[in-house]
Amino acid sequence: MIRLPGMGYDRAITIFSPDGRLFQVEYAMEAVKRGTTIIGVKVKEGVVLAAEKRSTTPLMDSETLDKIYVIDEHVGAAIAGLHADARRLIDYARVQAQINRLYYEEPITIEQLTKTVCDLKQNYTQFAGVRPFGVALLVAGVDVTGPRLFSTHPSGAYWEWQATAIGRGAQRVNEILEKEYKRELSLNEAIKLALKSLREVAEKELEPYNVELAVASIENKIFEKLKRDEVSKWLSSS
């Protein structure tokens, strides 16, 4: 009888393979890699999130395909992976942000919010009867420490970045960012770099209906999703 590699070790989330792998977490990451590309760029003036939206049919209303969500007035997140899982995490993050305001009378820091979400994600990797969240987030915003940009992993790990991408075109976009990113870029230049990188991997020509942009500036500490007419202006000028 031929036994496939990993046979039996991917049947439950609580079983490690002999080489120390959790296959269900790796499968969850495959769902992230199949998602549309999302990009984050952090500079001294603030942080930018850009995301490609993909409609499976022309009959679908693209307004319902959110890829970037506002969590609190100073922080938001872009998603790659399963939308249903993402909604659960976004709702959880919003509740945690409001709890922090009620308890401490101040906005939650970007890192603390990311850690709180990742604690929940990690819980779903160690108990029988559950599965990992098949989604990764780019969490971005401005807090008392300045602009921050974090990525999350289905395992519950998280990292901080100057610029990064996740999703289907992440490898190509990260190559571009490594070559062209500079910390001295202005916020406007960061938006243009994000759109330029997204164009390289987009499945279709970028249009206001299939792109989302969000910006948080150090000046006003507000995380704001740009409206479609504002996105159109950026696409035509970059």
Find the Cα–Cα–Cα–Cα dihedral 229, 210, 25, 96, rounded to 10°. 20
In a domain, 87, yes or no: yes
Query: In this prediction, what percent of the chain has a pLDDT beyond 70?
Result: 92
CB 69 within 8 A of CB 214: no
In a domain, 7, yes or no: no
| Residue span of the structural domain in which 211 resides | 34-53+65-237
Given this model, what pLDDT does residue 54 score? Answer: 79
pLDDT in tens, 158-180: 999 999 999 999 999 999 999 99
Residues marked active site are found at 37
Residue 59 lies in a domain: no
Angstrom distance (rounded) from CA 24 to CA 89: 19
Quote the number of domains for the chain.
Answer: 1
Closest CA to 110 of 163, 160, 65: 160
Q: Does the pLDDT value for residue 8 go beyond 70?
A: no
Both tokens assigned to 34: 């199949």
Please measure the distance between the N-terminal and C-terminal CA atoms of the chain and give it in whole angstroms.
58
Give the mean pLDDT of 11-29: 81
pLDDT at 75 over 90: yes
In the chain, which ranges are continuous DSSP H helix? 23-33, 83-104, 110-123, 170-180, 187-201, 228-237
What is the domain-level CATH number for residue 93? Answer: 3.60.20.10
185 lies in some domain: yes
pLDDT of residue 24: 87
Query: Average pLDDT, stretch 66-87?
Result: 96
pTM above 0.85, yes or no: yes
What pLDDT sits at residue 85? 96
Q: What is the DSSP letter of 149?
A: E
Cβ pair 222, 235 in contact under 8 A: no
Decide if 226 is inside a domain: yes
Q: Kindly tell me if the per-residue pLDDT of 12 is higher than 70.
A: no
Q: How far is CA 193 from CA 41, 128, 150, 188, 209, in A?
A: 8, 43, 18, 9, 19
